[in-house]
Amino acid sequence: MKSCGLFFLLILLAVCESSFAWRSFFRGRGKHGFGEPKLSRKYQLPPDMWFTQNLDHFDPTNMQTWQQRYFVNEEFYKKDGPVFLMIGGEGKASAKWMVEGQWIEYAKQYGAMCFQLEHRFYGKSHPTPDLSVKNLVYLSSEQALADLAYFIAGIRHKYQIPGDSKWVVFGGSYPGSLAAWARVKYPHLVHGAVSTSGPLLAQMDFQQYYVVVEEALKTHSQACVDAITNATHQIHVMLRHRIGQMNLSEKFKLCTQIDPSKTKKNDISNLYEILASNFAEVVQYNKDNRDSSKFSNISIDTVCDILVDQKRGIAVDRLAEVSNMMLNASGDKCFDYKYSNMLDEMSNVSWKGEMSEGGRQWTYQTCTEFGFFQTSTAKPLLFSETFPVDFFVQQCTDIFGPRYNIHLLENAIERTNTFYGGLQLEVTNVVYVHGSIDPWHALGITKSSNPKTPAFYINGTAHCANMYPASKQDIPELIAVRQKVGKIIGRWLN
C-alpha cells in the first residue's frame, strides 16, 4: 500500500502492485497490497531517509545493522501534537502516501507529524546482501514489529519528539495486521492503531477468498458467475483433445502451446490460477481511488458486461476476451502459464531480480508464517478443483527447498496464531475497517462488541478503500466511516 516537503511512510498490505509484473506477481498468495493514492495535484515528494536498524532483534549477541528507509512529513505538526506512523508492507513504500490519503487528512486535523517506515526486505530496505534462504530467516512479521518499536524509540530522539507524545499507527492489508499487532505487542510505544483490511488469522487454505470474489461478481449478476463456471468447464473439456488444446493456445494467446508431452499438471493449475486472479484483482480493487494501476479502469462491471454478452460467442470465448484485455493492460504480449518460468523468477535471490519487488519475499512469508493460499477448492466451485492447496505447498518446496513443506507450514501457521491470537485479540485503542467486497475481510475482525476496539464493515467497498483520498464516487457508508474513524482517533488523543 502508498508526501510533501517532508518525509514519511506507507503501505498496507501494501504493495503497489502497479510496479510489478502483475501477472506473475503474488499470484495466489495475496493480491494484497494497496496501490498508491491518486494525487490531486503536483507535489514535491519527500526524499528517502534512512534509519539504522538491527538485523536480528531476537539475538542480543548479533550486533549487525542495516539501513531502513523511511519518509517524514512535518508540515502539519503542531507543538505537542501526536505522531502518525504508516506501516510499510510487502512492497516498496511510496512517498505519495506522505502527501495525500485519508491519514493525511487526520494528520491535518490533529496536527500530527507523519512517518512511513518501509518493511524490511521490501523496496529499498535491504537488510542482507541477497534474498537467499539463509538470509530470509530475518524476514518475519515479528522482526518487522520490532523494527517499528526501535524506529519509534530512535525517531523520538532524532526529531526531539516528547516522550509522552502519542503515536498512532496506520496500515492496510498485511500492514493492517501489523498495525493491530503493534498495539498488542508494544502498547507502551503505540497508543492507537487504525487497522484496515488486515487478515489477523493465519490460514493455510484460504478458500474463502474466491467465495468472496464470487459474491462480489454476483452483485453484477448470477449470469456473470455462470459464464465463468461454464467457461471453466469448457476449458476442462478442450484440454482433453488436440484441437481443443490448439484452440485454447490461440484464444488465450498462450506463450507456449499446450502439448500433452510437455505440459505438466502444475502448468495447468498455474493457467487456471492466473485466469482466476484476473477476477481477484478486479474485485479486490474495484473502483477505489488508486493511481497508476493498469487496471484502474477495469471494474467488475467491465468484465461482467463482457462475460454475460452471449453475442460475443461461447463462454470460453468471452473469458478469453477478458483475459486478453488484462494481458493487454499489463503490457504482456502473451500469456505465460509455464510453472517452471514462474519458479525461475521466484528462485532468483538477487535484489535486482524480477521478483525482488516483493514476490519472492512475500511468498517466503506465506510459506513460513501465514499460508493465505487462495485456492479454488471452496464450494460453490467457481474455478473447480483447478488450484488446490497442494499446488501452493509444492511451490514453497520448489522455491525454498525440501524443508519448506506441509509440516513446516502447519507448524508455522499454528505458531503465528498462537503468538498473535488470531481473531481473539486482547487489546484497546484499535479500530478495524473492512469492506464487504474485499476478500480479505474473511480473515479479519469485522464485528466487535467492545467499544475500545470498534470494527466497521462497509457494505460495498473493496480492499483498503478507506485509506485512499476521498473521491466523488465514494459511497455514503465509506464517507461516514472515514469520519467515525477520525473521531475515534480524536478520542484516543484527548
Ligand X SMILES: *[C@@H]1O[C@H](CO)[C@@H](O)[C@H](O)[C@H]1NC(C)=O
How far is the C-alpha of 297 from the C-alpha of 293, rounded, in Å? Answer: 8
**Residue 458 contacts residue 477 (beta carbons within 8 Å):** yes
The one segment of 11-19, 68-76, 188-196, 351-359 that binds ligand X by CB under 6 A: 351-359
Site membership for ligand X, residue 261 (CB under 6 A): no
- Annotated active-site residue in 24, 94, 125, 173: 173
CB of 354 to ligand X, least distance (A): 5
Instruction: Count CB neighbours of 348 within 10 A.
Output: 17
Place of cell 505465460: 336
The one segment of 54-62, 349-357, 393-401, 444-452 that binds ligand X by CB under 6 A: 349-357
CB of 423 to ligand X, least distance (A): 20
Strand pairing report for 65-73 and 113-117: antiparallel
- Residue from 75, 142, 226, 390 touching ligand X (CB under 6 A): that is 226
Site membership for ligand X, residue 228 (CB under 6 A): no
Q: Which is nearer to ligand X, 160 or 297 (CB)?
A: 297
Site membership for ligand X, residue 459 (CB under 6 A): yes
Place of cell 484460504: 206
The one segment of 94-102, 186-194, 241-249, 366-374 that binds ligand X by CB under 6 A: 241-249
β-bridge partners, 335: 254
- Annotated active-site residue in 126, 191, 220, 463: 463
DSSP 39: P
The one segment of 84-92, 155-163, 240-248, 403-411 that binds ligand X by CB under 6 A: 240-248
Residue 438 annotated as catalytic: yes
Strand ranges (DSSP E) for 217-344?
Answer: 290-291
Single out the residue of 460, 444, 378, 388 nearest to residue 32, CA to CA. 444
Which amino acid belongs to residue 400?
A: F
Site membership for ligand X, residue 302 (CB under 6 A): yes
Cell of 164: 509522552
Cell of 267: 502448468
Give the distance from CA 211 to its chain's centroid: 18
Q: Which is nearer to ligand X, 407 or 447 (CB)?
A: 447
- Annotated active-site residue in 267, 288, 291, 438: 438
- Residue from 216, 238, 300, 399 touching ligand X (CB under 6 A): that is 238
Distances in Å between the Cα of 466 and the Cα atoms of 43, 194, 295, 358, 394 are 22, 11, 19, 24, 36
Site membership for ligand X, residue 340 (CB under 6 A): no
How far is the C-alpha of 330 from the C-alpha of 95, rounded, in Å? Answer: 23
Cell of 378: 471452496
How far is the C-alpha of 200 from the C-alpha of 421, rounded, in Å? Answer: 8
Q: Which is nearer to ligand X, 208 or 417 (CB)?
A: 208
The one segment of 154-162, 200-208, 243-251, 272-280 that binds ligand X by CB under 6 A: 243-251
Site membership for ligand X, residue 353 (CB under 6 A): yes
Site membership for ligand X, residue 354 (CB under 6 A): yes
The one segment of 32-40, 175-183, 294-302, 444-452 that binds ligand X by CB under 6 A: 294-302
Determine phi and psi for 300, rounding to 5 degrees: -55, -40
CB of 56 to ligand X, least distance (A): 26
Q: Element (H or E) spanning 55, and its range?
A: none
Per DSSP, the residues of 178-192 read HHHHHHHH-TTT--E
Site membership for ligand X, residue 204 (CB under 6 A): no
How far is the C-alpha of 399 from the C-alpha of 385, rounded, in Å? Answer: 23
- Residue from 61, 160, 261, 297 touching ligand X (CB under 6 A): that is 297
Residues 6 or more apart in contact with residue 438 via CB below 8 angstroms: 197, 212, 284, 461, 462, 463, 464, 465
- Residue from 62, 65, 350, 418 touching ligand X (CB under 6 A): that is 350
- Residue from 213, 308, 346, 478 touching ligand X (CB under 6 A): that is 308
CB of 234 to ligand X, least distance (A): 7
**Residue 193 contacts residue 145 (beta carbons within 8 Å):** no
- Residue from 41, 352, 472, 491 touching ligand X (CB under 6 A): that is 352
Site membership for ligand X, residue 301 (CB under 6 A): no
Site membership for ligand X, residue 243 (CB under 6 A): yes
Site membership for ligand X, residue 62 (CB under 6 A): no
Distances in Å between the Cα of 165 and the Cα atoms of 48, 100, 154, 351 are 24, 23, 14, 37
How far is the C-alpha of 483 from the C-alpha of 492, rounded, in Å? Answer: 15
Q: Which is nearer to ligand X, 79 or 352 (CB)?
A: 352
The one segment of 37-45, 75-83, 242-250, 397-405 that binds ligand X by CB under 6 A: 242-250
Residue 147 annotated as catalytic: no
Site membership for ligand X, residue 256 (CB under 6 A): no
Cell of 425: 485479540
- Residue from 109, 165, 348, 428 touching ligand X (CB under 6 A): that is 348
Binding site for ligand X (CB under 6 A): 223, 226-227, 230, 238, 243-244, 247, 297-298, 302, 308, 315, 328, 348, 350, 352-354, 459-460
Catalogue the active-site residues: 173, 438, 463
